[in-house]
C-alpha cells in the first residue's frame, strides 16, 4: 500500500507513481489525527489543506479527489486534469461544488448521505432542550460567580417540551431522526417539505407559513439550494411566535443572518440554537457570540469520532463502487 505523505504542511514526494485517490483538505474531518484514510485506496495521498493552486498540482494523475466543504467552482473544475473521474464531497451537503461544471468535465460527483443523521439529530434536540431551560443564561451566571439560581429561586424560564409544537423544515434522514426523538418527548409535529405528503404517523404536513405561525420550535433540516437560501428572512421570521425558538443544524445560509440578529435583539422571537452560521467561523464581532438568547456551537453536529469514522468508511464505499462500475450516492 502506498500512503503518500500525510498531515504535514509540506508534503514530501515519495517517488512512487501518482496516487489514485487524493484527499485535498483532510484537516476539516481529521482535526484530531484519529482517522485512517488508508481504507480509501491502495494508493492515497492525504493533505491537511490545499490552496486552489496546490490542489491542481496534487491531483495530477489522480482518478478520485476527496474534498470537505471546499469551494470547487467552475473555474477550478475547468483546470482539473483529464485523469479525474470522481469527486467525492465528504459530507451530505454539496452546495460547494458546481455540479453543472463537473458534469461538463465528465466528472461524477458523489456525497455521503446519512453518515451523521443521528448525531446531528441529537445536536438539534440538545439545542432544543437547552433553550427550553435557558441553559445558556444559567451557565453564563455560573461563569460570573452568580449563584442566585441556587440561593434564591430560579430566575430564568424553564419549560416543558411535551405538548409543544415542533416544526420541521425538511424531512430527510436527519429530519426523520429529529421527529423520532421529538415524538418520544411527546411533542406535536408539523412538517414542511418540497413534496406534499399525506398526514400520518402523528405528523401533520403543512405549508411553510402555517408551520412558522404555529410552531413553538422550528428546526431546519433542508439542503442549501438557490431556492432555500435565506428561506428564513425578515418576512418569514416575522411569522414566528414571539415565544418561539429557531434551531439550525443544516446550513447557515438557510437563514438571513442580519435579519435573524435583528429579530433576536428586538425579541421578535425568543431565541435561537445555531450549530451552523452563514460565515464559518463567524466574524469576531458577530453579535451571535454574545446575545443572551442564543446558543452557538461550532458546526459540531457531525464531528463526533464515531461519526467521522463512519464518514471515511462511506467515502471508501463511494470510491470502490465507482471504480467497480456501480457508482452510488451520485448527485447532480
Q: What is the pLDDT of residue 190?
A: 98
Q: What is the pLDDT of residue 46?
A: 97
Q: What is the pLDDT of residue 18?
A: 65
Compute the Cα dihedral for 285, 287, 292, 295 and give only its sign.
negative
Q: 229 an active-site residue? A: no
One domain for residues 229 and 175 = yes
One domain for residues 108 and 124 = no
Q: What is the pLDDT of residue 7?
A: 41
**Of 263, 185, 181, 261, nearest to 221 (Cα)?**
181
Alpha-carbon distance of 61 to 215, in angstroms, equals 53
Active-site position among 2, 229, 234, 299: 299
C-alpha cell at 200: 400520518
* Residue 167 resides in a domain: yes
Q: 119 an active-site residue? A: no
Q: What is the pLDDT of residue 196?
A: 83
One domain for residues 211 and 278 = yes
Q: What is the pLDDT of residue 1?
A: 39
One domain for residues 276 and 309 = no
C-alpha cell at 30: 481529521
Query: Can you spell out the DSSP letters for 205-259?
Result: E--HHHHHHH-SEEEE-----TTTTTSB-HHHHTTS-TT-EEEE-S-GGGB-HHH
Q: What is the pLDDT of residue 14?
A: 42
Alpha-carbon distance of 300 to 313, in angstroms, equals 19
Q: What is the pLDDT of residue 332?
A: 83
- Total number of domains constituting the chain: 2
* Residue 331 resides in a domain: no
Alpha-carbon distance of 191 to 176, in angstroms, equals 10
One domain for residues 228 and 162 = yes
* Chain Cα centroid distance, residue 4: 29
pLDDT (tens digit per residue) in 298-322: 999 999 999 999 999 999 999 999 9
Q: What is the pLDDT of residue 19?
A: 76
List the CATH number of the domain containing 203. 3.40.50.720
Give me the residues of the chain with pLDDT under 50, please. 1-15
Q: Could you list the residue range(s) of the whole structural domain that residue 103 is in? A: 2-113+304-323
Q: 280 an active-site residue? A: yes
pTM (whole model) above 0.75:
yes
* Residue 329 resides in a domain: no
Active-site position among 251, 278, 308, 310: 251
Amino acid at each position: 500500500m502506498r500512503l503518500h505523505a500525510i498531515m504535514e504542511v509540506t508534503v514530501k514526494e515519495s517517488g512512487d507513481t501518482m496516487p489514485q485517490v487524493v484527499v485535498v483538505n483532510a484537516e476539516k474531518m481529521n482535526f484530531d489525527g484519529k482517522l485512517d484514510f488508508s481504507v480509501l485506496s491502495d494508493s492515497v495521498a492525504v493533505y491537511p489543506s490545499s490552496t486552489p493552486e496546490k490542489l491542481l498540482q496534487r491531483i495530477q494523475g489522480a482518478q478520485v479527489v476527496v474534498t470537505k466543504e471546499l469551494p470547487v467552482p467552475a473555474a477550478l473544475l475547468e483546470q482539473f486534469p483529464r485523469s479525474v473521474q470522481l469527486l467525492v464531497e465528504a459530507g451530505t451537503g454539496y452546495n460547494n461544488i458546481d455540479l453543472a461544471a463537473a458534469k461538463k468535465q465528465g466528472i461524477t460527483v458523489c456525497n455521503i448521505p446519512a453518515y451523521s443523521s443521528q448525531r446531528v439529530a441529537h445536536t438539534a434536540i440538545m439545542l432544543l432542550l437547552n433553550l427550553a431551560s435557558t441553559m445558556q443564561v444559567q451557565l453564563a451566571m455560573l461563569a460570573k460567580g452568580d449563584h442566585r439560581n441556587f440561593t434564591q429561586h430560579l430566575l430564568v424560564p424553564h419549560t416543558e417540551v411535551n405538548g409543544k409544537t415542533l416544526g420541521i423544515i425538511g424531512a430527510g434522514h436527519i429530519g426523520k431522526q429529529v421527529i423520532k426523538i421529538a415524538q418520544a418527548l411527546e411533542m406535536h409535529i408539523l412538517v414542511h417539505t418540497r413534496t406534499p405528503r399525506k398526514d400520518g404517523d402523528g405528523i401533520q404536513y403543512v405549508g411553510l407559513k402555517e408551520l412558522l405561525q404555529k410552531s413553538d420550535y422550528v428546526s431546519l433540516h433542508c439542503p442549501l439550494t438557490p431556492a432555500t437560501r435565506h428561506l428564513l428572512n425578515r418576512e418569514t421570521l416575522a411569522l414566528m411566535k414571539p415565544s418561539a425558538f429557531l434551531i439550525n443544524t443544516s446550513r447557515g445560509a438557510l437563514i438571513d443572518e442580519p435579519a435573524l440578529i435583528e429579530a433576536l435583539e428586538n425579541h421578535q422571537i425568543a431565541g435561537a440554537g445555531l450549530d451552523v452560521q452563514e460565515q464559518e467561523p463567524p466574524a469576531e464581532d458577530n453579535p451571535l457570540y454574545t446575545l443572551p438568547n442564543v446558543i452557538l456551537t461550532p458546526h459540531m453536529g457531525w464531528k463526533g469520532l464515531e461519526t467521522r469514522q463512519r464518514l471515511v468508511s462511506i467515502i471508501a464505499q463511494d470510491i470502490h463502487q465507482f471504480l467497480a462500475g456501480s457508482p452510488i450516492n451520485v448527485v447532480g
